[in-house]
Structure 1
Amino acid sequence: MKCPYCSAPDSKVVNSRPSDEGGAIRRRRECLSCGRRFTTYERAQLEPLMVVKRDGRREAFNPDKLLRGLTLATEKRPVTPETLRAFAYGFEDEVGQTEVSSEEIGRKAMNFLRPIDEVAYIRFASVYRDFDTLERFIEEIRGLKDG
């Protein structure tokens, strides 16, 4: 496994254990070159979930991409990385289909964030729904307060 810090090609496994309720194996690795540690996840990939983009293109679902968006929305908020990781990496199993629209992914992510942290929800919604005016932003916050 290539080291994400120094790009050295060799690392050793320090610890392995089941993760995501047995759906993956979490491995702690140590780079043989720089000595830094990092975590990898190994999971079976049967048939990849395909994401249908707004312009009609299709691409394989990437949980890291979803995790990146959730992480940005929850930056400096009291949401644990483990909570986000569990959602992002469990998303494919939850959907139970072979195709999903990017809109559906955004809706599910907002439904996930709303009860956890309202500020993170608004941050994610502002990007997902592409707020172009202050009024649209205020309207969403009012809906959050009323709902």
Structure 2
Amino acid sequence: MEQLSPKERQNFVHQTCRLLRRVEFLLLVEYTEVMVPMVYVIYIATVYHLPNRKYFPYLHEMSETDLANTVRSVMIYGLLQLVSFVLLLVVLTRRFQLTPGTILRFVLHKEWRVVQGQFVLWIIYVLQSSIEHVGTDYTFKFKWLHQ
């Protein structure tokens, strides 16, 4: 490091900061890809057993077997995302000698409001948008137009 000129040192620090920011972003994306299926499984399993399930078109006529198949499919997807996340951690550790766990903890601590806000928005928008009260018709038949 002492062999570098001040300009080269500044460039080195700038490039290192850019790399760390990209790693933070990549870790956060992978973390989200692992967490979203898990949250969805918990949500769908919970709502299935609640009385307001009749207002969710995709849950209304779903049987226990269908629920189990859906949960299994989403969990397999989540497991694949977890494998992808672990592989990313291994690559970052071996190839770049980084500590991805520490970097992820740092970004979750630093950006917790953004992460929490995105999760809440996702839950409200995606999960609640299919309720009949909202008027969403994924069958595209629009029965209310023909009445």
Larger radius of gyration: 2
Query: TM-score scaled by structure 2?
Result: 0.26
Higher relative contact order (CA 8 A, sep 6+): 2
Q: Which has the higher strand share?
A: 1
Query: TM-score scaled by structure 1?
Result: 0.26
